[in-house]
Amino acid sequence: MANKILMITGGSRGIDYCTAVLAAQRGWDVCVNYLSNSARADQTVDLVRKHGARGLAVQADVSKEADIVRLFPTCDRELGRIDGLVISAGIVGPPAASTS
């Protein structure tokens, strides 16, 4: 039986990195989406593979429709149809100004 497939947006750092590794440990194949840090995404995929799962890193800016349209078919083609999706890519902006 094939592993289930999980896509994680922003999966190369922080909580999403940990989610990718835990998913691999539990038998999921993992597609890691990243914006610009390919080295970190590749490290995540390497660790996913060390746990016996298939891993794939795909660069895409999830704020751009064309990138999303490319992201999902790439994952489908390389790993198969996704069974789970963690959407947590985000932008950390400057703190809001205090009104007090």
**Using CA atoms, how far apart are residues 51 and 5, in angstroms rounded to an integer?**
14
Instruction: With respect to residue 66, please indicate whether it lies within any of the assigned structural domains.
Output: yes
Mean pLDDT value across residues 2-17: 87
The pTM (predicted TM-score) of the whole model is 0.85
For 7, the enclosing helix (H) or strand (E) is strand 5-9
Task: Establish if 100 belongs to a structural domain.
Answer: no
pLDDT band for position 2 (cuts 50, 70, 90): confident
CB 29 within 8 A of CB 84: no
Q: What is the pLDDT of residues 15-40, one digit of tens each?
A: 888 999 999 999 999 999 999 999 99
The boundaries of the domain holding residue 41 are 5-87
Whether 68 is covered by a domain: the verdict is yes
Tokens of 81: 């149809």
Asked if residue 79 is part of any domain, the answer here is yes
What pLDDT is recorded for position 89? 66
The CATH number of the domain where 74 resides is what? 3.40.50.720
Q: In 32-62, which positions are buried (b, 16+ CB within 10 angstroms) versus exposed (e)?
A: bbbbeeeebbebbbebbeebebbbbbbbbee
**Can you tell me the distance from the alpha carbon of 35 to that of 84, in angstroms, rounded to the nearest whole number?**
20
pLDDT, tens digit, 9 for 90 and up, residues 55-100: 999 999 998 999 999 999 999 999 999 999 998 766 666 665 656 5
* Residue 32 placed within a domain: yes
Domain count along the chain = 1
